Amino acid sequence: MSKAADQAYNYIRSAILNGSLAPGSPLREESLAEASGVSRTPVREALRRLEVEQLICRTDSKRCFVSDWSLDDIEEGFSLRTMLESHAARRAATRIRPDQLTQLEEINHQIANAIRLDIPDATAFANLNRQFHMVISEAAQSERLTRLLTGLVAHPVVLRTATSYDRQQLEHSVQEHAELLRAFALRDPAWAESIMVSHLRRAFHAYKDAFQAYLYKNGQGGAE
């Protein structure tokens, strides 16, 4: 992907995740190009990547919209992600390099700093958490697994709901990451796998609570 396409991708993805582009919003190449400071060609490239990641959808008439995920869609995504990422954690436990373990420790340290601010930084949490899981996927040393996870990891666990997470839920993530690091350091695949399963199931229920809080806050209580 070109530098201009990366610029457009980062702009559009951030706007989707922070709620500036709401679910169902139309995506017009001309306005996106102007907003992201690039031409329409890199915007098209960025939209194709976002479509693969399921953050946007395209109609039969080729018009693009921000994906509007139901809670059922998201639960299915978490279930699939749990199966794949637990397998990734098992593989990573016996394949992870020392520099990758150090990288994971540093990312988790940054997550801890972000959530312990007076007002937890939800944007930093979401971005760093994504990086943490990507490193584990890389450490698993399976291109096939990484390809399968790409769309699932990026599905919209969006920042509009991350802002509704309470501090205790965010702290749970840091603690579970730390336990994963201990399992990796001891090269224990069964332990790493079980932690990842527990981590993602708890994360789903935290997301579900935050999603429903977001709907209630925005006058959509009871909707799923």
List the CATH number of the domain containing 92: 1.20.120.530
Q: What is the pLDDT of residue 1?
A: 60
Mark which of 17, 47, 66 sits at the end of a domain.
66
3-state secondary structure at position 65: strand
What are the distances in angstroms from CA 14 to CA 35, 93, 172?
12, 32, 25
Mark which of 47, 66, 85 sits at the end of a domain.
66
Q: What is the pLDDT of residue 221?
A: 52
Q: For the chain, how many structural domains are there in total?
A: 2
Q: What is the pLDDT of residue 24?
A: 87
Answer yes or no: do 128 and 162 share one domain.
Answer: yes
3-state secondary structure at position 64: strand
pTM of this structure = 0.76
pLDDT truncated to tens, each residue of the chain (224 aa)? 689 999 999 999 888 877 788 888 999 999 999 999 999 999 999 999 999 878 899 998 989 999 877 778 888 888 999 999 999 999 999 999 999 999 999 999 999 999 999 988 887 888 898 899 999 999 999 999 988 887 665 555 545 556 667 788 889 999 999 999 999 999 999 999 999 999 999 988 888 887 777 667 766 554 43
Strands (E), the chain: 26-27, 56-58, 64-66
Q: What is the pLDDT of residue 151?
A: 65
Nearest to 160 by CA among 14, 20, 11, 18: 18
Helix and strand numbers (H, E) in the chain are 10, 3
- Edge to edge, the sheet with strand 26-27 lists 26-27, 64-66, 56-58
> Taking CA 148 as the corner, what is the angle to CA 85 and CA 56, rounded to the nearest 5 degrees?
110
Range of the domain at 52: 3-66
Q: What is the pLDDT of residue 2?
A: 83
Answer yes or no: do 195 and 90 share one domain.
Answer: yes
Answer yes or no: do 41 and 145 share one domain.
Answer: no
Q: What is the pLDDT of residue 200?
A: 92
Q: What is the pLDDT of residue 14?
A: 82
Helix, strand, coil % over all residues of the chain, rounded to 5? 70, 5, 25
109 is written with which tokens? 């340290």
Q: What is the pLDDT of residue 156?
A: 53
65 pairs with which residues across the strands?
Answer: 26, 57
